[in-house]
Amino acid sequence: MSKEKDNRAVSVLVASTFAFTICFAIWMMFAVLGIPIKKQLNLNETQFGLLAAIPVLSGSLVRVPLGIWCDKHGGRIVFFLLMLATVVPIWMISIATEFWHFLVLGLFVGLAGGSFSVGTPYVARWFPPKRKGLAMGIFGAGNSGSALTKFVAPAIIGAYGWQMLPTVYAVAMALTALIFWQFSYTDPSHQVKGGDASLGAQLKMLKDPRVWRYCQYYSVVFGGYVALALWMTKYYVSEYGFNLQLAALLAACFSLPGGVLRALGGWISDRYGAHKVTWWVMWVCWVCFFLLSYPPTSMVIKTVNGDMTMDISVSPLVFTGLLFIVGTAMAIGKASVFKFIADDFSGNIGAVSGVVGLAGGLGGFVLPIMFGALVDLTGVRSSAFMLLYGTVCVSLVWMHYSFKPAASAPVALPAAA
């Protein structure tokens, strides 16, 4: 790689990561903004889950076509136009008054989440194979935009009211689009030349079972991350009685490592391989979700001296520590899954990353709604972690049986001279 091209690659990586961070912060805005709206509109837990997750739905559904358009037209122009398309809907949230207003506008704001399927192939094509994992991990660290929202949004809402937040975010998105355009570049050789670029042709890889496996893994490490990032501020407020500012700060202890450390996950995946890294990520999540699933419990134990009452619960300190571990594991897992994709589907990484990103995003949409429904049905807030524990079990079983044949295959010995 020439020095000029290397400098351009670094500039593209920095500009794209910055843009994705802002896009992700806006994509997650209802994690904080939804709390005062819930109070104003008197929403139940399921309705809050739908409000928080609705941008994730549209952001997920557009990932496949955006990935294909990135392959066909180039990432720079697609990324730029995508950001501009969200500015007006973001601002309009400040004047919304009805629940359906927020849902409709949330669908348009959710387009910002589709930026991942543009930025990933756009960045990856600027780097050689041995550096793709690290480059995609650095770009994916833009997930830390979720933590950015938790730092910024409560301060703005507390000082000026919730209506000010969408106004600030609309201006931020417009400025980000201009900064991205100024510091990014176009390389025509990165566009897919020749062949059929139709949706049907690009999605033929769905016949490959590896794609479905990666969709499952990503629905856990990314879908679970998005769902928890949307839900944890509300969880701290409801479960521990914290105010919005403290709840958002503690929730950032999950969101921040879950985004920033994705770059570390890319480096680890390059060094140790995607399968080994993903396997250990799932085991760490399995243990943590098991501990987080246990609801506050009071037990009466019969002893020789009479009844003894024992209260079992997860303290805020332990809870936050476990969330930090989960966030770190998910950050590494998000990078390792995309290392799988970069290794196995380098020719059409845009379309495949769009499909896998769609699966992860749909997980991030469905899970918060299910969290709310489970709370409404059972009254147990930790039921959210019970659900996540089950999804990790599925991934571990699938990984075990998918890679077992390859691991147990006999090693071919060299022929005798």
DSSP string, 54-75: HHHHHHHHTHHHHHHHHHHH-H
Percentage of the chain modeled with pLDDT above 90: 40
Domain 3-186+199-406 has CATH 1.20.1250.20: yes
Cβ 255 vs Cβ 130: under 8 Å: no
Q: Outline where DSSP puts E strands in 275-415.
A: 297-303, 306-312
What kind and span of H or E run contains 158? Answer: helix 145-160
Q: What's this model's pTM, rounded to 2 decimal places?
A: 0.78
Q: What gap in Å lies between CA 65 and CA 117, rounded to an integer? A: 9
Residue 262 scores a pLDDT above 90: no
As a whole number of Å, the end-to-end CA separation of the chain is 40
Q: What is the mean pLDDT of residues 170-186?
A: 94
Statement: residue 35 has pLDDT above 50: yes
Q: Which residues of 318-346 are buried (b: 16+ CB within 10 A; e: fewer)?
A: ebbebbbbbbbbbbbbbbbbbbbbbebbe
Distances (CA, A) of 328 to 131, 180, 282: 21, 28, 12
Higher-confidence residue: 14 or 261? 14
Highest-scoring range by mean pLDDT, 194-203, 290-299, 347-356, 398-407:
290-299
Q: Phi/psi class of residue 74: alpha, beta or left (left: φ > 0; alpha: ψ in -120 to 50)?
A: left
Q: Given the structure tokens 């079990």, which residue do they identify?
A: 393
Mean pLDDT, the chain, whole residue set:
85
- For residue 269 the two structure tokens come to 């995946």
Can you give the C-alpha Rg of the chain in angstroms?
A: 22
Q: Could you tell me how far CA 195 lies from the centroid of its own chain?
A: 32
pLDDT higher than 70, residue 404: no
Residue length of the chain: 417
Query: Do residues 139 and 379 lie in contact, with contact meaning Cβ atoms separated by under 8 Å?
Result: no
Model confidence at 412, in pLDDT bands (50, 70, 90)? very low
Q: Which two tokens stand for residue 388?
A: 């996540």
Beta strand pairing status for 297-303 and 306-312? antiparallel
Amino acid at 364: G
